[in-house]
């Protein structure tokens, strides 16, 4: 369970870092432990992102979970200034929902234990 909590905090860190680096956006983050899962909710305000950028980001985050690669790839990736870490977040997520409205981006990530 200890490693699961580290994975959750790393996922939060990568999504927050992406939005701070690319958009310098104010952020609200909510992490909710549930029975057998974690729910991560992000709201980023004042995001100047067009529909094409949003769809590109969505394609990076919405992916199939690959549990056997989670630990290995994160160690190899290190700290990059690209969105490669977001693909790692996607590989660690069971579901990702994204919405964009009036300069605001909302992301909901579920990771089952």
The pLDDT of residue 90 is: 85
The pLDDT of residue 28 is: 98
What are the pLDDT digits (tens) for 17-74?
999 999 999 999 999 999 999 999 999 999 999 999 999 999 888 877 666 565 555 5
The pLDDT of residue 49 is: 93
The pLDDT of residue 76 is: 46
What are the pLDDT digits (tens) for 78-108?
554 454 578 888 888 999 999 999 999 999 9
The pLDDT of residue 67 is: 62
Radius of gyration of the chain (CA): 13
Third-level CATH fold of 2-112: Heat Shock Protein 90 (3.30.565)
**For the chain, what are the domain ranges?**
2-112
Q: Can you tell me the distance from the alpha carbon of 86 to that of 67, in angstroms, rounded to the nearest whole number?
A: 15
């Amino acid at each position: 369970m200890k490693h699961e909590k580290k994975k959750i905090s790393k996922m939060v860190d990568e999504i927050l870092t992406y939005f701070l680096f690319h958009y310098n956006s104010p952020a609200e983050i909510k992490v909710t432990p549930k029975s057998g899962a974690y729910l991560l909710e992000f709201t980023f305000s004042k995001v100047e992102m067009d529909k094409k950028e949003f769809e590109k980001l969505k394609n990076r985050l919405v992916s199939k979970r690959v549990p056997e690669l989670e630990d290995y790839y994160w160690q190899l990736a290190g700290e990059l200034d690209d969105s490669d870490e977001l693909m790692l977040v996607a590989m660690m997520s069971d579901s990702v929902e994204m919405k964009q409205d009036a300069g605001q981006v909302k992301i909901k990530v579920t990771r089952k234990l």
